[in-house]
Structure formats: C-alpha cells, structure tokens
Structure 1
C-alpha cells in the first residue's frame, strides 16, 4: 500500500510538469492506491473528488497514448440527471435545478478497423456512505478499492498493452460515472455514443475484480450474449475455476450494452465482508490475481482479433425470476459457490443467522420445508416467510449436517 506521502507524490506527478515520462511506469497498485485514497472521499458521483479521479484517469489515458473520445475533443462525456425519488422509476437526464452531473472518461485507439471493442469499468463509489452502504456506524469514507478501483486499474493496464499490439479492432476504454446510482454513465453512453456504434463488436466490463481467491474462482456473466463465448473462454483459460452465467442482464455496466444488442461479458471475483463498507481498502486486493485477470482478457481479445464480428444473442433475464421476500437471514451469500446449497460468505451480527449460530462457510441445504440447492431455490424458500416467523434451517458445516432455529 502507498503511504500518505507516496500518494501525494503520485498526485503531484500526475498534475506536474514531468507527468508524461513518469506516468508510463505507474503500477497497478499505484493506480488503485490513488483512486482508493482517503483524499478522494469515496468518489461519489458529481462531487469535486470524483472530478479529481476523472482527471487522474484522463491524464493516465493521455500519457498511455489514447485519443480523447468524449465530447468536443476532450476525454470527458458529462451527463446531468435528477436523482430518483422512486427506486422503480427510470432516471431522467435533464438540466436544471437539483441536478447532479456525472463524468464518463473515454479514450480510444484507432486502428482503422471495421470493428470496435469496448472495455469498461466504473470509477465512482459511495462517497461517505448513505444509500447503498452496509456500514451502520455513521458517515465514513468508502474508498471502494475493489469496487471499483480494481476494474479501472485493469482497464488502464489493458490500454497500455493494447496500444501497440493487436490491430484487428479499434478499442474504446470507458471509465463510467454513476454506476452506484443505477448504471447511469453506461446508460447515457450507450444511448449517446461518441463512437460509431455500428462498429461495436462486443463489450468487456470489469467490476470488483480485486479479490481473486486462492482457488482462482472467477465469475463471468453474459456468456450467452454471443454463441462463441463458451468456446473462447474455455480455450484461453489459463487456470481459473470459471463460474459462467449466460444472462446479459445484471447489476453492472455491461447490462447497458447488452440492452443495445451488443454482446457483453462481465468479470467479477466475488463479494466479501468489506463490500460497500469503509474497509474496502487497497492493501486488501490481490494484485497478482488482477494481473492474471488482465492477461486472460487480453488473450480473449487476441483470440477474436482476426475473427469476424460477433453475432448477438438475447438471453433470459434471470432477475425477472427472482422472488420477492420480506425477511432476510442477515448473511452474505457466496455467489461464486458452485456446489449444492447456498454457501454463507459472511454473517451480520445481531441478525437472525448470527443469533441462530450460523457461521461463515456454512452451506444452507434446507430452509423450512424447502430444499436449497442453489441461490434461486434459497430465495424462493426465503420468500415464504414473514417477520416474526420461526423455522428450522439445516446447514452443512465441514461435511457435518447441523440444524438450528431461525426467527425472522
């Protein structure tokens, strides 16, 4: 982790007169440490600190040698919106009073090709907390090292590597604003593209890619958005334990491109106890794992470099099948678990699961009368209960079955 003095030095180098020569050697760790530093106060959309982060990314893109591809010859694409009061309504991009302005940062490599690859990651986070935060002890800086300085770090690394290598495609690199408020930056870009969208071949999204586990489990969503994805992902896999999800719709920026009929993949290393909390700090990231993910994405791009434009395919929207429920166990599911049941990746103190003695690592295999075989069956089982209900839960703990009483 960079110390405070090192972060200030890096900031000086970014905006100082000698920045061009120095920034070409900025490491993945340094990019993340700057973006996730306390000085940026969580990079909330529309804040002065988010603009500092945007200008840092702009400077990095400029020094890498990317062309500006925002508005009016700049690297920036701004969008102004009115915050939603109804969580189910669609955001309105407007000008006027009580609005917030977000800033996408866009760089481009023009290889004069007839197809363009879009590579994206959001750089905004939760600021001092508020809506979306899982921290219950008041305001605090949410640095968002994994969410999503990690994705931006790999994006910049890919830009550096693609600048003078694979020439079968053009490349658009986008650091999105407004993701935490509802995929706003990617939504706006996909409807107001600054590139020729008829050339858009596919989109690669990286959101929370900084916590690769020891068993190298990597989740990739959107694998059903083009017929070729399964073959390509397996052929280029350097040793990840892949968890593949076909749906092109999910809670990250790839969704905005899928909805414009562009094949899209989303890379994700899983949730953790620091998710949406002030403790998501840069020293906790697996940088070797991030390098491995970046190299994997590079191999995927290389595999498709000489191929014709991908065919788009619609997928089932799995979020439409998610049952509504009024209660919660108070656990964080392990979304990368591919065994039978729902593995608990974290337990919140004072909630039903903790009171019943459930532990991290327990695999829920039965809730009430319902057998739990995966996340969907777990949510269906949970939807049958209301606050005040009491039921039995059965878990597999290190190969031994345990039973406990849950009161919601």
Structure 2
C-alpha cells in the first residue's frame, strides 16, 4: 500500500504543476519514474502497470493533449493469454481467473488537419520476470525495463512537448501501448478498435529501446521501404547517426500492427544489449543525451514531412519469412547494428556453448562449421544445420587475430 500511495502522490504532484513547470520534466525524469522499483516492472494487468498508465495520462493532460481513449485517456482491453504462440489472441470482456486487462494510454493533438500521425511506444515490461525473461537467477527480481521501454515512452513525451503548435500540417495521436511483451496486444487491439479514423492515419512512428545509443552513434531505422519517400527523408535529416536501415515494416514491436493495417511505419532502435529482458536494465545505464538527440532527429523527420500530405503506403518484403529455423543456439546476443563482415557478439549467456568454448563479447564470428559467416542471415543459415549434441569448429575475429574454438551444441 505504501508503494501505491507514493506513486499516487507523485502523480498528483505532476498533475498540480503549471504548464511552465511541466516543460521542466526531462527525458530522464520520465524514465526514472517509469523504471522505478515501486512500479514492479510494469507487467500488463498489474498495479504497477496501472500506476504507469496514470502517470503517462497525467503527463499527457499537462502537455495539453486531448483524451482520445475509450475511457478518457485510457483504452482497456481484456484477453486470455495464448496457450499456443501461433494462435490469435482471444480478446474478451468476460470475467475469469485467466483474464488479464491491459491499458493503452492515448492523447490527441488536434491541429484541425485532414490526416493524423501516430506516435507510439509500449510502456509495459516483464514484472518480476514473466515469460520472455532471459534472467537465469534462482530468485525473482524486478525487471524495470529502463531501455525496454521506458526510454521509448520518454522520447514520445519529449516529442509531444516539441510538437505543440509546431508542424501543424497533421494532427498527432500519441499512444503508450500495453501488452507489447505478450505479443503486441495493445497495438493490435487498437488497430481493430481505433479511436480515430485509421483511413486518415498518415504514418506511424515507433520508439522501442532507444535508450542505449553507443559511442559510434549507430541507430537502426526500420520500415524505410513502407513509403517511397521515407528512405530519402531518413537520410536527408541525419547528421548525427550511423544509420542502419531496414525496409521491412514487420518486426517484433508495435509498428507491425500498423503496417498490417496498410499504414507506413518507421521504427527507431539503438540495439540489443546484455541487460535485455533482465533485471539489469536500469536507469543509470541509459544515454540520456543520446535520447534527446534521437528525439530531435525524429522531430526533424516530422518537420520535413509536414507539407507532404498523406504518404502512400507500400508493401515490403517480410525478411522474417526468410529466417531459417534452428534447433540449437550458441548462447550469444548478436549485435544487430553491426554492419561489418561477420556476426559480432554483443553478449554471452551463462553456461551456454559459446561461454564453454571461451568466446568473448566483441568477438566476430566469421566461420561456423564449413560455412563462412558474412552477416546475420548467413550466421543463422549456418546454425540451422546443427542438432543438439553436434560438435563443430567456430572461427572468430578477436581484434587483429583469428581464434578457432570447438563448439558442442
């Protein structure tokens, strides 16, 4: 009870601020609140998730946004968790032991324009280690999700502040989704129960894990093929980042729900890391200056597109359909933003084949078995040829040296 009272006190405090004072709320302030232990990991359907939703709604209100949910700023959705990962989620309003209720938070900036830009980020996470956690410790620990995805929500709120009375060629719908970690449930529900006319949706911008911009300033931007102009705009407005582009509108985040509704999308991402889906994803590890730079970059893209009217939608090839299926893994976190030759290792899992073979973070896999590894796809193809119990050689580049090791899957 003490935790909830503390949260409510902070919400009231934010609600009492004048508009001038609200502008002093920084990206870091928002992350620190959302990723605090007191919210207990913001798992969908929990008190921590509801407290986070209340905080975001309070921020929306103080930024002058109009409530655009089904119940004020909120759009609730009830569902029964999937028992089969391939089945469609069963949204339901029936009461029952297995029913969970999540909450989307939706605010609207009405410029009396013809079309609306949707700007979104999910705010739910894994609580004390729900399905999807990569933590292998014996005791339960809070998964605060500072990067995943308090970072995206903080950048969303930053954009809401930047866009007030600016770039008025479109309206703006700001959405903080729940249920992303359970299968894009909140965004999927919204597209089927939209609180605006989706035929008037211009394009959708999604920020998911934008909190750990690295020293080389690599930023992934996915969905550049979903409208003919997007690749050019992403490039023309960039002076700060090493951009890694991907054309596909399909990926493991909420932009996919909007792409599947024939809306152009862009998804911004600073890369995976060793703390992904683990208790170590905490506030002190984020690059707040980098997040502000990303917010400004997205604002510049919006500014560039302000007088372009409604963007045409274009279907893209779904790269995920080409991903080979495999029965084994090395036990590494790949560096998805690495664009050199090979597959660079960004993290090593405990007690897995890579660790047992002596591989290290920063190693670049250039050969697995008889297969040369030139990129992520060739690495996955090579991996797909092995079964449990197989042994093979792996060659990695470590600094200027090439190191060979034996792997047992």
TM-score > 0.5, shorter chain as reference: yes
CA distance in 2, matches of 1:172, 1:345: 35
Is the partner of 2:196 in helix, strand or coil?
coil
Is the partner of 1:327 in helix, strand or coil?
coil
Instruction: Say whether the 8 Å CA contact 2:226–2:315 is kept in structure 1.
Output: yes
Instruction: Say whether the 8 Å CA contact 1:13–1:23 is kept in structure 2.
Output: no
Aligned position for 1:332: 333
How far has the Cα of 1:371 moved from its partner? 0.9
Instruction: Say whether the 8 Å CA contact 1:248–1:255 is kept in structure 2.
Output: yes
Aligned position for 2:92: 94
Per-residue CA deviations over 1:246-269 (Å, capped at 9, x if unaligned) read 110000000000000000010000
Aligned position for 1:114: 114
Q: How does 1:2-401 map to 2 (within 5 A)?
A: 12-16=9-13, 18-21=16-19, 22-72=21-71, 74-96=72-94, 97=96, 98-137=98-137, 138-401=139-402
Instruction: Say whether the 8 Å CA contact 2:233–2:304 is kept in structure 1.
Output: yes
CA RMSD of aligned residues (A): 1.6
Instruction: Say whether the 8 Å CA contact 2:11–2:54 is kept in structure 1.
Output: no
Instruction: Say whether the 8 Å CA contact 2:331–2:353 is kept in structure 1.
Output: yes
Aligned residues: 403
Is the partner of 2:130 in helix, strand or coil?
coil
How far has the Cα of 1:10 moved from its partner? 8.1
How far has the Cα of 1:130 moved from its partner? 2.5
Is the partner of 1:19 in helix, strand or coil?
coil
Residue ranges of structure 1 left out of the alignment (5+ in a row) = none
Residue ranges of structure 2 left out of the alignment (5+ in a row) = none
Is the partner of 2:203 in helix, strand or coil?
strand
Runs of 4+ that moved beyond 3 A: 7-11, 19-24
How far has the Cα of 1:95 moved from its partner? 1.9
CA distance in 2, matches of 1:20, 1:369: 65
CA distance in 2, matches of 1:386, 1:9: 52
Instruction: Say whether the 8 Å CA contact 1:217–1:242 is kept in structure 2.
Output: yes
CA distance in 2, matches of 1:86, 1:307: 43
CA distance in 1, matches of 2:88, 2:364: 37
CA distance in 1, matches of 2:10, 2:25: 10
CA distance in 2, matches of 1:150, 1:20: 24
Is the partner of 1:267 in helix, strand or coil?
strand
Q: Which moved more, 1:267-276 or 1:14-23?
A: 14-23
How far has the Cα of 1:238 moved from its partner? 2.2
Instruction: Say whether the 8 Å CA contact 1:347–1:354 is kept in structure 2.
Output: yes
Instruction: Say whether the 8 Å CA contact 2:7–2:51 is kept in structure 1.
Output: no
TM-score between both structures, scaled by the size of structure 2: 0.96
CA distance in 1, matches of 2:5, 2:334: 38
CA distance in 1, matches of 2:16, 2:190: 32
TM-score between both structures, scaled by the size of structure 1: 0.96
Is the partner of 2:345 in helix, strand or coil?
strand
How far has the Cα of 1:321 moved from its partner? 1.0
Per-residue CA deviations over 1:118-168 (Å, capped at 9, x if unaligned) read 000000000000310011113110000000000000000100110121101
Is the partner of 1:343 in helix, strand or coil?
strand
CA distance in 1, matches of 2:281, 2:38: 15
How far has the Cα of 1:12 moved from its partner? 2.7
Per-residue CA deviations over 1:320-351 (Å, capped at 9, x if unaligned) read 11111111101000000001110000111211
Is the partner of 2:249 in helix, strand or coil?
coil
Is the partner of 1:49 in helix, strand or coil?
helix
